[in-house]
Amino acid sequence: MITRLLRTAAPSSGWLAASLVFRLAGAACGIGLIALPAFWIMSSDVPVRPGIGTVATVLVALALIKALARYLEQYTGHHAAFDLLKAMRLRLLDALLPQAPGVVTHVGAGRLLQVATRDIDRIEVFFAHTIVPTLAGILVPTGAATAIVMIAGPSALLVASVGFLVGTLVVPLIARRTSSQSARDTSRLRTSLTQHITESVVGLLEIRSLRAEAQRLDTMRTLEGSVAHQLRRAGTAFASRTIAGTLWPAFTILGLLALAASGVSDLPGAVASCAIVWAVVPQLESIQRFTRSLPAAVAAAERYFALLERRPAVEDVESTEAVVPAAAPAVRLEAVSVVFPGGDAPVLDKLDQVFPAGAHTALIGPSGAGKSTIARLLVRELDPEEGRVLLGDVDVRSIPLARLRALVTIVEQKATLLSGSVFENLRLGRPELTQGDAWRALRMAHLDREIRALDEGIDTQIGTDGDTLSGGQRQRLALARALARRPRVLVLDEATSHQDPQTQIAIRDAVADVTECTVIVIAHRSDAISGIDNHVVLSKPQ
Amino acid sequence: MQISRLRRLARDTPPRGWGIVAASAVRAVLSASAFLAIGAVVDTILSGGDAQPFLLVAGACAIGAAVCAGVESLLPSHQQPVEEQFWRGRLATRMLTTPIDGREEPGDTVSGLTDAVERIAAYRSTFVGRFLGALIVPVAVLAVIAVSHGVFVSAVLAVCIALAPPLLGAAMARVRRPTRAHSAASASLAAEFTETVRALGTIAMLGAGPQRRERFARRAETARVEVMRMLRRNQLVLLATDGFFGLLVTAASGVAAMIGLAAGAFTAGQALALVLLGRLLLEPVDHVGREFYVGMAGQARQDAAHRALSTASSRDLPSPTVSTQASALPTCVRLEQVSIVRGCRATVREVTLDLPSRTITALIGPSGSGKTSLALALAGLLPTASGTITINGTACDASARTAAVAFVPQRTTLFTGTVADNLRLGAPGASDDRLVWALDCVGLTCELSNGGSALNRPLTTDGATISGGQAQRLSIARALVCGSPILVLDEPTSNLDQESAERVLRAVSEVVQISTVLLITHRHDELAWADRIAVMTDGVLSTTTREALA
């Protein structure tokens, strides 16, 4: 897993390496700024001691180089971060698009979004802001130890090494079990707290109507109390680590001085070593951060890779030899059975059904009877366990996915629109659509007059998920988008069930005028489909 | 940093925050003393004396400093929950007591009670104390230097440090705008990516995948070039702060030590101590620089919370209903000349309506005609602008109406917990028998039992474990447990299929034997269940009969 994680960073490894080099250079200058004066002070008797002018020049130069190195380290680090973020996002898109739309239902929109945002960010932070400091946190003490053995001899090296090892290996481990346990518990409790608050906000009317306000606040306080307990536990663990982290450099320095006091090391070397230890301390803090963030990064990477490796629920076909069905084909289901993964009872059980060519057919029945499943079979979001789905005489499995989804279009219960203009939304998946065709589709969806009344007409921005439009307008825009594709089969899957009566009537009228394709209207209530002559009633399989 | 800003921070500092400040100051003095002791060790070794006493002093000072550092990291974890409870409690009480109109988006309310509260608490419990502590540290170190190395050296270093804040402030101000632009560019790119993933299903069905991918790749490239261009300039502030502090503080203390040593003013030990003390002076840059913007974001959230709380009328929470009677007394309701104003629109105008005891009155009309407003006002959840509502002949204000009326919304909220927990909402002391009786009334006892006890069945908010119709009936049962004699149902069946809708209406017709029911609907086929029918058009009411509508 770790090697795969590392391979993820390959596209930005050059920039990361540059960032590391600059960080090391900066660290070296930082050490020099303290260690050189210390060394010079102690070599007062020796003729090597430089004049004040030289001292000032060297120190100023070191300070400036250190600043420049920090600047370049940050710049290259950000560059690496950005490249990595872009590469990971594109890789995820490339992996998800062939799996969609099935992956959304299977993995869940929420989990998908979590991987796309939080997990990718976490991996990015791990590489761009954790890995380089950690490597520096190992390399700098190693370099410092080498310098110490050269100027102060092996016994000083021993003392300093023990100090560094305690600082890198022992200190981060102090109370680590308590820390990670309380971090897990805190995050779990905070999730419950957020859940509780969300329910209070969503269910506000009921809470107030039933006068349960005090009851809800009490439960919230109980949850807060548990969070408080965990926070205090984590605080105690953190404090003990801080104490240890402050103590080890102090005692390393005192140990080095004790060597000099007992005559084992010579004084200038020992003092310079002390200065080096003192200057190295901040570099080691990054190792603590690394041990903290590694488990989270690995967990995030696991979820990310799992998505990349998922197998699509349906196999695409390359060949195009299948005869593309004639305009407005009949839709036929032949002995179709579908069982959802994890479910024991079949959703559809050896269903035979024909939706006549060019006609409008209503598909009704209670929820759970498999109405939407039929729609999903038509666009091959999933394939049936047994049986065949045919457009005209062609099995949908022999039509390439892109072609199939151009032939069959579904308008869903809740329209998904993208931010951008009305026109951009209509062109989604059909970049070649002209303004004229766009207006024709809007007219067919009985939306043209309202769009014309908007300030910028068809170029009006509709906001995230179309939130500047009313629910009815959103739904009709989705219908217009579907009609603009000139599909051979149009499926309305509960497209009006959450709309007010006026919208329902408007959409019903718009659909009634559609004559150039086979139309299937799915509804759970019979009043949504008045005016349609063909009825197919689906009941729950027993 | 202006004085007023500092005063503001000091005002936001809780007692434990001052504890952090005090611990920082003590730690600075002890660390500085440890370095002075190290200097003394060096001098003693050079003069051939016994260095052990000074080593012990240095060790003692280091231990003391470590304990102070421990206190500094412990205190915030004790203050954080205290602050969270204080702010969340007040904001939640406000949410539960202010009028239901004019509220913000639910998502904003939730993040205001979770994320914002955590940030406010982090600002008050961690940031302010650390910030003021970081300002105190150099002062304490300079004081020690003044005593040990003389006022002159201390003054020179003090001037260097005093120069820092104005220069740093100027650099930050120049950089802040591009920084904001930078995060805006990154955020809009992230938003586009999130949107693409969220709409993945639709995009795939429309065959727009390649188109969207291309678009995202192009925008990511543009944003990268843009962001890197801005970063090249922004990061200059790092160059400035690092170079500046490195130069003025570390280099200056090194040079000062060498000059003092050459002039014979310092011993070698003193000169060494001065070099080491230089790094202690850097603490404000190292720590505060990193946390500054996060801390200030917390301050902004606190201001927002203050504003929200100051507009709230301080109302006490109503006490929960205590009712043990199995069925309510006959209750009739009369609305007389009732008008309701929401925002600046009169949604209901001079409506007069009678709800006789133990009847179902259906209220129909197009959406936006004021049906829900009337229902909410009857339930005491909206105030009336004029007119009176009397229950059994007694005029009732909003809070009296809330006590007598239970409201079942279009979409029931289920709360995480068991069926029993959900039924006890509003009646925490209700007995199991009463819960079972309520479930019986709506025909749920058997449907939910599923092998075990129906009461112990776990539920989740998304209602994945029970159907929409069952949830709706559970909501009616919940109202029964409370013993409210009047039940208002706002389009309870609009999201249900025929079969489930019928079960809900059957439950209502059971319940009406002990309650008075107002049923809002826009489905004419449901009027068959009603005893009386009222039609709402544009805020005005007229009564009618089934035959007239047919």
Instruction: Provide the 10 A C-beta neighbour count for residue B336.
Output: 15
B375: helix, strand or coil? helix
The residues, any chain, with a CB within 8 Å of residue B213's CB and separated by 6 or more, are: A90, A93, A94, A97
Cβ pair B220:A103 closer than 8 A: no
Per-residue pLDDT, A457: 87
pLDDT tens column, B195-204: 888 888 888 8
A70 lies within 8 A of chain B by CB: yes
Min Cα separation A254/chain B (Å): 7
Per-residue pLDDT, B178: 58
pLDDT tens column, A7-19: 878 878 899 999 9
> Can you tell me the distance from the alpha carbon of A79 to that of B369, in angstroms, rounded to the nearest whole number?
57
pLDDT-derived band of residue B315, with 50, 70 and 90 as boundaries? Answer: low
Cβ pair B78:A232 closer than 8 A: yes
pLDDT tens column, A156-168: 999 999 999 998 8
Per-residue pLDDT, B186: 76
Closest Cβ opposite residue A56 in set B85, B255, B499? B255
Cβ pair B73:A42 closer than 8 A: no
Question: Which residues in chain A have their CB less than 8 angstroms from residue B232's CB?
Answer: 75
Min Cα separation A240/chain B (Å): 6
Closest Cβ opposite residue B195 in set A214, A419, A431? A419
Min Cα separation A43/chain B (Å): 9
Q: Which positions 416-435 of A are in contact with B (Cβ < 8 Å)?
A: 416, 418-419, 428-431
Cβ pair B55:A258 closer than 8 A: yes
Cβ pair A60:B247 closer than 8 A: yes
Is pLDDT at B543 greater than 90 in this prediction? no
B94 lies within 8 A of chain A by CB: no
Q: Token pair for residue A476?
A: 């009709």
Closest CA to B64 of B37, B30, B29, B34: B30
Going through A386-488 in order, the beta strands assigned E by DSSP cover: 386-391, 394-395, 408-411
Question: Which residues in chain A have their CB less than 8 angstroms from residue B213's CB?
Answer: 90, 93-94, 97
For residue A357, the 8-state DSSP code is T
pLDDT tens column, A453-511: 888 889 988 877 777 787 778 888 999 999 998 899 999 988 876 666 677 787 888 88
A458: helix, strand or coil? helix
Per-residue pLDDT, B495: 73
pLDDT-derived band of residue B321, with 50, 70 and 90 as boundaries? Answer: low
Cβ pair A103:B200 closer than 8 A: yes
> Can you tell me the distance from the alpha carbon of A241 to that of A178, in angstroms, rounded to the nearest whole number?
12
Q: Which positions 204-223 of A are in contact with B (Cβ < 8 Å)?
A: 204-217, 220-221
Is pLDDT at A149 greater than 70 in this prediction? yes
- Mean pLDDT over all residues of chain A? 86
| pLDDT greater at residue B429 or residue B164 | B429
**3-state percent breakdown (helix, strand, coil) of chain B, nearest 5:** 65, 10, 25
pLDDT tens column, B487-499: 999 988 877 777 7
| Dihedral of the alpha carbons of B313, B315, B321, B327, in degrees to the nearest 10 | -40
Residue pair A65/A22 in contact (Cβ under 8 Å)? The answer is: no
Is pLDDT at B189 greater than 50 in this prediction? yes
Question: Which residues in chain A have their CB less than 8 angstroms from residue B268's CB?
Answer: 41-42, 44
**Tokens 């394709």, located at residue:** A517
pLDDT tens column, A115-135: 888 888 888 888 877 888 989
Per-residue pLDDT, B326: 43
Residue pair B400/B380 in contact (Cβ under 8 Å)? The answer is: yes
- What is the percent of chain B where pLDDT is above 90? 36
pLDDT-derived band of residue B56, with 50, 70 and 90 as boundaries? Answer: very high
pLDDT tens column, B251-306: 888 888 988 988 889 999 999 999 989 888 876 665 665 667 677 788 888 998 99
Q: Which positions 325-364 of B are in contact with A (Cβ < 8 Å)?
A: none
Per-residue pLDDT, B320: 60
- What is the percent of chain A where pLDDT is above 90? 33
Closest Cβ opposite residue A44 in set B34, B254, B268? B268
Can you tell me the mean pLDDT for A347-364?
Answer: 89
pLDDT tens column, A243-294: 999 999 999 999 999 999 998 888 889 999 999 998 898 888 888 778 777 8
The amino acid sitting at B263 is: A
For residue A48, the 8-state DSSP code is T
Can you tell me the mean pLDDT for A423-432?
Answer: 90
Closest CA to A475 of A447, A437, A436: A447
A257 lies within 8 A of chain B by CB: yes
> Can you tell me the distance from the alpha carbon of B411 to that of A199, in angstroms, rounded to the nearest whole number?
13
Q: Token pair for residue B20?
A: 């952090």
For residue B284, the 8-state DSSP code is I
Is pLDDT at A24 greater than 80 in this prediction? yes
Question: Which residues in chain B have their CB less than 8 angstroms from residue A68's CB?
Answer: 239, 243
pLDDT tens column, A76-86: 988 888 888 88
**Which range (A70-74, A229-233, A338-342, A415-419) has the least confidence?**
A338-342
> Can you tell me the distance from the alpha carbon of A211 to that of A204, in angstroms, rounded to the nearest whole number?
10
A203 lies within 8 A of chain B by CB: yes
Residue of B nearest to A496 (CA): B495
> Can you tell me the distance from the alpha carbon of B308 to that of B130, in angstroms, rounded to the nearest whole number?
27
Chosen for mutation from B415, B424, B488, B496 (greatest number of chain A CBs closer than 10 Å) is B415
Alpha helices in B150-251 (DSSP H): 151-198, 200-205, 209-234, 236-245
Does the bond joining A346 to the residue before it have cis omega, within 30 degrees of 0? no
Which region, left, alpha or beta, applies to residue A492 given φ > 0 means left and ψ of -120 to 50 means alpha? beta
Residue pair B481/B434 in contact (Cβ under 8 Å)? The answer is: yes
Closest CA to B269 of B62, B49, B66: B49
Closest Cβ opposite residue B317 in set A214, A231, A250? A214
Per-residue pLDDT, B463: 54
Residue A355: its H or E element: strand A348-355
Per-range mean pLDDT, top range of A99-113, A280-294, B57-71: B57-71
B85 lies within 8 A of chain A by CB: yes
Can you tell me the mean pLDDT for B9-23?
Answer: 95
DSSP collapsed to 3 states, B455-503: HHCEECCCCCCCCHHHHHHHHHHHHHHHCCCEEEEECCCCCCCHHHHHH
A399: helix, strand or coil? coil
Per-residue pLDDT, B335: 92
Q: Which positions 224-253 of A are in contact with B (Cβ < 8 Å)?
A: 224, 227-228, 231-232, 234-236, 238-240, 242-247, 250-251, 253
What's the distance, CA B117 to chain centroid?
5
Cβ pair B239:A67 closer than 8 A: yes
| Dihedral of the alpha carbons of B236, B242, B245, B250, in degrees to the nearest 10 | -150
Question: Which residues in chain B have their CB less than 8 angstroms from residue A37's CB?
Answer: 254, 257-258, 271, 275
Can you tell me the mean pLDDT for B344-367?
Answer: 88
Is pLDDT at B124 greater than 70 in this prediction? yes
pLDDT tens column, B66-88: 999 999 999 999 999 999 999 99
Q: Which positions 85-104 of A are in contact with B (Cβ < 8 Å)?
A: 86, 89-90, 92-94, 96-97, 100-101, 103-104
Cβ pair A243:B207 closer than 8 A: no
C-alpha angle B283/B160/B136, rounded to 5°? 40
> Can you tell me the distance from the alpha carbon of A239 to that of B17, in angstroms, rounded to the nearest whole number?
16
> Can you tell me the distance from the alpha carbon of A381 to that of A412, in angstroms, rounded to the nearest whole number?
14
B110 lies within 8 A of chain A by CB: yes
Can you tell me the mean pLDDT for A177-187?
Answer: 88
Residue B353 main-chain phi, psi, to 5 deg: -155, 140
**Which range (A124-133, B222-231, B454-463) has the least confidence?**
B454-463
Can you tell me the mean pLDDT for A217-224?
Answer: 95
A138 lies within 8 A of chain B by CB: no
Per-residue pLDDT, A446: 85
> Can you tell me the distance from the alpha carbon of B72 to that of B134, in angstroms, rounded to the nearest whole number?
11
Helix axes B52-97, B106-113, angle to 10 degrees: 150
Alpha helices in A43-175 (DSSP H): 52-96, 102-107, 109-114, 120-126, 132-152, 154-165
Cβ pair A68:B239 closer than 8 A: yes
Per-residue pLDDT, A157: 94
Min Cα separation A344/chain B (Å): 16
Residue pair B333/B516 in contact (Cβ under 8 Å)? The answer is: yes
Residue pair B69/B299 in contact (Cβ under 8 Å)? The answer is: no
Cβ pair B74:A239 closer than 8 A: yes
Closest Cβ opposite residue A224 in set B84, B224, B428? B84
Q: Which positions 229-288 of B are in contact with A (Cβ < 8 Å)?
A: 231-232, 235-236, 238-240, 242-244, 246-247, 250-251, 254-255, 257-259, 261-262, 268, 271-272, 275-276, 278-279, 286
pLDDT tens column, B358-369: 999 999 887 778
Q: What is the DSSP string of B397-442?
A: -HHHHHHHEEEE-SSPPPPSEEHHHHHTTT-TT--HHHHHHHHHHT
Q: Is the dihedral of CA A353, A358, A359, A363 positive or negative?
A: positive
Helix axes B209-234, B151-198, angle to 10 degrees: 170
Min Cα separation A278/chain B (Å): 8
Can you tell me the mean pLDDT for B329-335?
Answer: 85
Question: Which residues in chain B have their CB less than 8 angstroms from residue A202's CB?
Answer: 106, 413, 461
Closest Cβ opposite residue B200 in set A86, A101, A198? A101
Cβ pair B522:A500 closer than 8 A: yes
- What is the percent of chain B where pLDDT is above 70? 86
The amino acid sitting at A71 is: Y
Per-residue pLDDT, B324: 45
Closest Cβ opposite residue A38 in set B242, B275, B412? B275
Q: What ipTM did this prediction achieve?
A: 0.86
Question: Which residues in chain B have their CB less than 8 angstroms from residue A213's CB?
Answer: 96-97, 317-318
Per-residue pLDDT, B23: 97
Per-range mean pLDDT, top range of A138-147, A459-468, B256-265, B336-345: A138-147
Per-residue pLDDT, B103: 64
DSSP collapsed to 3 states, A108-141: CHHHHHHHHHHHHHHHHHHHHHHHHHHHHHHHHH
pTM for the model: 0.78
Can you tell me the mean pLDDT for A12-34?
Answer: 92
The amino acid sitting at A188 is: R
Per-residue pLDDT, A542: 55
* Interface contacts (A, B; CB < 8 Å): 410
Is pLDDT at B424 greater than 80 in this prediction? yes
B351: helix, strand or coil? strand
> Can you tell me the distance from the alpha carbon of B15 to that of A83, in angstroms, rounded to the nearest whole number?
46
